């Protein structure tokens, strides 16, 4: 029987499939559809120090083989997440959860991460330094190695749980940012976040999104994500979580072959709310098809 178990930063997962932040909320809506404990885990909605309403509408645009979003980190703020969302989550999800954190300053990141670090059900902190849809924060920390290292170093000094840093693809050299995060103390890396993109309405001759630009996700970005995971995994010593356009069990195996330890599924959940469940169910069959008995045996096998 296929063995799908992996270990991410010392925490065991029944399988490498993680529902990505921004596509799974805090899990409650999906828990009404199926038992989400079948997941390896999930990364809950990006959380900031203060509540955020997000960007003005329209903030979603369709694209060939993808979706462009400029939601803008809408969330109730870390205190509400701790007081309301985590207690509710504990009633239907019985595994460690990944806490995705965004901010607009180093101090914001440190405060929010230190608050979530104390919560028993939080297994990992996912530090989002790569959101392209907000002004004055997010991606601005992830585009320069020195800025990325500074926020990682500060958060590590204030927390104890594994810190996974989410990287932006909107850079010339993602490897240099990855190495800077590793040297600053990151325990893992997740990549890629969305690619900066836009659509223009031919009728109005204006951008479709009120924000002008947004982040492209979906199958269109998978080959780019795979290439970047392969580059980063070859360069670093810490675990890599691969994401970007993953929608099939075959995509999971490709990501692992490129060097990922686990894989996040994002936009596919918005197309099919059962996407993660279906990928997990299909994974043993696809492993058997390609002669894979133990999924950890293929991690990085394409790196030569």
Tokens of 257: 């072959």
Cα four-point dihedral sign 218, 220, 226, 229: negative
d(CA 255, CA 265): 11
Strand partners of residue 265:
19
For residue 34, pLDDT beyond 70: yes
Report how far residue 247's alpha carbon sits from residue 260's, in angstroms, rounded to the nearest whole number.
16
Rounded to an integer, the average pLDDT of 60-81 is: 94
* H helix runs in the chain, sequence order: 28-31, 78-80, 86-89, 106-117, 145-158, 174-183, 222-235, 249-257, 268-271, 275-289
Q: Rounded distance, CA 89 to CA 240, Å?
A: 26
Q: 29 vs 36, 88, 247, 256, CA distance in Å?
A: 10, 12, 20, 29
DSSP conformation letters of 137-200 = SGGGGTSSHHHHHHHHHHHHHH--S-EEEEPPS-SS-HHHHHHHHHHTT-SEEEE--PEEE--E
- 9, 38, 113, 131: the catalytic one is 131
Whether the Cβ atoms of residue 180 and residue 145 lie closer than 8 Å to each other? yes
**Rounded Cα distance, 144 and 173, in Å:** 10
* Mean pLDDT value of segment 278-300: 98
* 38 in active site: no
Instruction: Report the predicted TM-score, pTM, of the whole model to 2 decimal places.
Output: 0.95
Name the residue ranges covered by the structural domains of the chain.
6-54+75-196+216-303
Q: Which DSSP symbol is given to 32?
A: T
- Percentage of residues of the chain with pLDDT beyond 90: 91
Q: Which two tokens stand for residue 289?
A: 């098809």
Check residue 229 and give its pLDDT: 98
Span 10-14, average pLDDT: 98
CA dist list (Å): 279 to 59, 97, 216, 261: 28, 19, 22, 16
**Which pLDDT tens digit goes with each residue over 73-101?**
899 999 999 999 999 999 999 999 999 99
Please check whether the domain covering 6-54+75-196+216-303 is classified as CATH 3.50.50.60: no
Confidence category of residue 205, pLDDT binned at 50, 70, 90: very high
Cα three-residue angle 269-172-125, rounded to 5 degrees: 45
Q: Which has the closest alpha carbon to 39: 123, 1, 91, 96?
A: 96
């Amino acid at each position: 029987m296929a063995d799908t178990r992996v270990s991410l930063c010392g925490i065991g997962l029944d399988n490498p499939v993680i529902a990505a932040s921004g596509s799974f909320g805090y899990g409650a809506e999906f828990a009404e559809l199926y038992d989400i404990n079948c997941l390896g885990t999930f990364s809950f909605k990006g959380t900031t120090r203060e509540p955020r309403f997000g960007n003005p509408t329209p903030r979603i645009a369709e694209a060939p083989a993808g979706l462009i979003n400029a939601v803008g980190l809408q969330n109730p703020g870390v205190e509400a997440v701790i007081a309301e969302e985590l207690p509710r989550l504990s009633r239907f999800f019985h595994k460690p959860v990944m806490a995705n954190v965004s901010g607009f300053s180093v101090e914001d990141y440190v405060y929010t991460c230190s608050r979530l670090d104390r919560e028993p059900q939080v297994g990992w902190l996912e530090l989002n330094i790569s959101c392209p849809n907000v002004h004055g924060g997010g991606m601005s920390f992830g585009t320069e190695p020195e800025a990325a290292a500074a926020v990682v170093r500060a958060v590590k000094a204030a927390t104890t749980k594994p810190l996974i840093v989410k990287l932006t693809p909107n850079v010339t050299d993602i490897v240099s940012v990855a190495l800077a995060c590793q040297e600053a103390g990151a325990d893992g890396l997740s990549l890629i976040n969305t690619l900066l993109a836009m659509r223009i309405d031919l009728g109005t001759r204006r951008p479709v999104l009120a924000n002008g630009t947004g982040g492209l996700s979906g199958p269109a970005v998978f080959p780019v994500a795979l290439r970047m995971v392969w580059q980063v995994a070859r360069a670093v010593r810490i675990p890599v979580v691969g994401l970007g356009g993953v929608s099939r069990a075959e995509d999971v195996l490709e990501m692992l072959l490129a060097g990922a330890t686990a894989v996040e599924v994002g936009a596919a959940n918005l197309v099919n709310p059962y996407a993660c469940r279906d990928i997990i169910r299909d994974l043993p069959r696809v492993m058997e098809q390609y002669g894979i008995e133990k999924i950890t045996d293929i991690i990085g096998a394409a790196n030569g």
